[in-house]
Amino acid sequence: MNAATRTPGLNPPTAHLRVVSDRDAPTTPGIRLSGVSKTYRTRDGDVPSLRPLDFHINAGEFFVVVGPSGCGKSTLLKMISGLLPPSSGKIFVEGEAVTKPHGNVGIVFQNSLLLPWRNILNNVMLPIDMRRLSRKEYLPRAKSLIKLVGLEGFEKKLPWQLSGGMQQRASICRALVHDPKIILMDEPFGALDAMTRERMNVELMRIQRETGKTVLLITHSIPEAVFLADRVLVMTERPGAIAAIYDVPLPRPRSLDAMADPVFSELVQRIRKHFFSQSAID
Ligand code: ADP
Ligand code: MG
């Protein structure tokens, strides 16, 4: 985005807030969903959770999904990771149909879910052990990731000896250690205090830039979504559908100063309006 398009007065204020459609899809996207829906069948009856969704995420894109509590965000992530089958439709990751849990993704859950009896290094190495990959081969990678997130020196500590933010950073290393092309994150910073959360946002953007990964992050924080994303998908209340997809034309690399940019506040407000008619977002 060039500076002229953001100069107030030269353009209509929302000219850059382009709502994008799936027609912009590239031929080989990182992730593609085609008619994907989910209805949970329970003893008490059917729970429709997601209406049929069609969208794509570009390879190397930072894509953020924002939506109210219970709209099906976690369901969406579980289906993309192959942990949960959709009720209809097809999911493609790197061009291949998802039919079972696959090795090409790393997942970060809301709480870090580190194993309490494993030290930080061995928690980070868990995907290597589970996939029976060579420890020797991946150990240097684990160590360099630990360094990348600023946890050098804490390799031998147990999770309880680290702060919540540090544990979450370790779980990001764990998601990256087997070098998956795609990182799926389900409200990864929900449990953190505001300041740690901002620091983690900056950290995550840096890691994504340095590794070129495709990231799908779920959040219920609209400012966090706009700050991090190349594009933001806004979901409706359950059963979730796509309300809109927005381009975020803030230049990269972004620092926390990006939140002072008029484009940032305009986009945050624009997305908030989707929820005015709904109950508060979480
Ligand atoms: P979100 O992550 O957006 O808060 P979820 O994907 O966790 O939403 O859930 C979407 C809806 O599906 C919710 O109404 C929830 O109650 C329902 N749901 C989630 N998991 C199950 C399940 N295993 N069985 C039945 N209903 C479920
Ligand atoms: Mg959830």
**Residue owning the nearest CA to atom 27 of ligand 1:** 40
Written as one letter, the residue type at 207 is I
What is the per-residue pLDDT for 21?
58
What is the per-residue pLDDT for 2?
44
Residuewise pLDDT in 10s, the chain (282 residues): 444 444 443 444 454 566 665 555 666 679 999 999 999 999 999 999 999 999 999 999 999 999 999 999 999 999 999 999 999 999 999 999 999 988 889 999 887 789 999 999 999 999 999 999 999 999 999 998 898 888 999 999 999 999 988 998 899 899 989 989 899 999 988 877 888 788 889 988 988 988 889 999 999 899 999 999 999 999 999 999 999 999 999 999 999 999 999 999 999 999 999 987 655 444
**Residue owning the nearest CA to atom 23 of ligand 1:** 40
Question: Three-class SS of residue 92?
Answer: strand
What is the per-residue pLDDT for 195?
83
**Residue owning the nearest CA to atom 5 of ligand 1:** 72
Q: How far is CA 35 from CA 38, 56, 81, 90, 91, in A?
A: 10, 12, 17, 7, 9
Rounded CA-CA distance 255/248 in Å is 14
Which residue of 37, 38, 40 sits with most ligand 1 atoms within 8 Å of its CB, as the best mutation to test the pocket? 40
